[in-house]
Amino acid sequence: MATRALSISRLYGHERDRLRAIARRILGDPVTAEDLVQQAFVNLLGRSTHADPPPVSQAYITAAVRHLTLNHLRNAKRRGEVALDDAALAAIPAPVASPEDTVIHRAELRRLLKAIEALPRRRRQVFVLSRLAGLSYIDIAERMGISRNTVISQIASAMVDLDRALG
């Protein structure tokens, strides 16, 4: 099982870009293409425990991605979904908040920032690096010289503290 998972991981590393290009050509959507490629590998890995698992091969995974992509297109047409390219998405006007909504959102933001400032220093640093700067737990741990589990614990504690403070 472990060797099979390693083989699947290697295949993913070697074939990901090529498979993503195939799915993107069919769909015209790079994000969905990436999702479907990942799903094909998840499916392959999930079938590893079956009595007769599928082969870990370029041909098999290529066919799996093509089938998932075509099924996605078929289902989207059935549901009446329309894929929009980047230009079409950019042309959709952004919703404009009313003056009342703006005042409410600013007040909530001030409350949140005040609650974050009230957190203990290390907890605040971990929370800000994770939630506002978007760093991974491992990156935060390395940057701060603490363990990944400490990062997780500090974030969980920060969330509890903020929940209490904001009610």
Question: Same structural domain for residues 75 and 143?
Answer: no
Q: What is the pLDDT of residues 119-129, one digit of tens each?
A: 999 999 999 99
Question: Same structural domain for residues 15 and 69?
Answer: yes
DSSP assignment letter at 56:
-
- Asked whether the CA dihedral 139, 140, 144, 147 is positive or negative, the reply is negative
DSSP assignment letter at 96:
-
Domain-located, residue 8: yes
Q: Over 60: is that where the pLDDT of 64 sits?
A: yes
Q: What is the pLDDT of residues 66-121, one digit of tens each?
A: 999 999 988 887 777 666 666 666 666 667 778 888 888 899 999 999 999 999 99
Which residues have a Cβ under 8 Å from the Cβ of 126 and sit 6 or more positions away?
A: 140, 144, 146, 151, 154, 155, 158
Q: Please count the residues of the chain.
A: 167
Helix pair 58-79, 30-46: axis angle to 10 deg: 120
Domain-located, residue 150: yes
Q: CA of 158: how far to CAs of 48, 81, 91, 117, in Å?
A: 39, 40, 39, 11
Question: Same structural domain for residues 16 and 49?
Answer: yes
pLDDT at 85 (0 to 100): 63
Domain boundary pick from 36, 57, 88:
88
Question: Same structural domain for residues 50 and 25?
Answer: yes
Summarize the confidence of residues 23-47 as an average pLDDT. 89
Tally of CB atoms within 10 A around 40: 24
Question: Same structural domain for residues 117 and 160?
Answer: yes
Question: Same structural domain for residues 109 and 54?
Answer: no
Domain-located, residue 51: yes
Domain-located, residue 94: no
Q: What is the pLDDT of residues 46-55, one digit of tens each?
A: 876 666 677 7
Question: Same structural domain for residues 33 and 73?
Answer: yes
Taking the model in full, what pTM does it have? 0.46
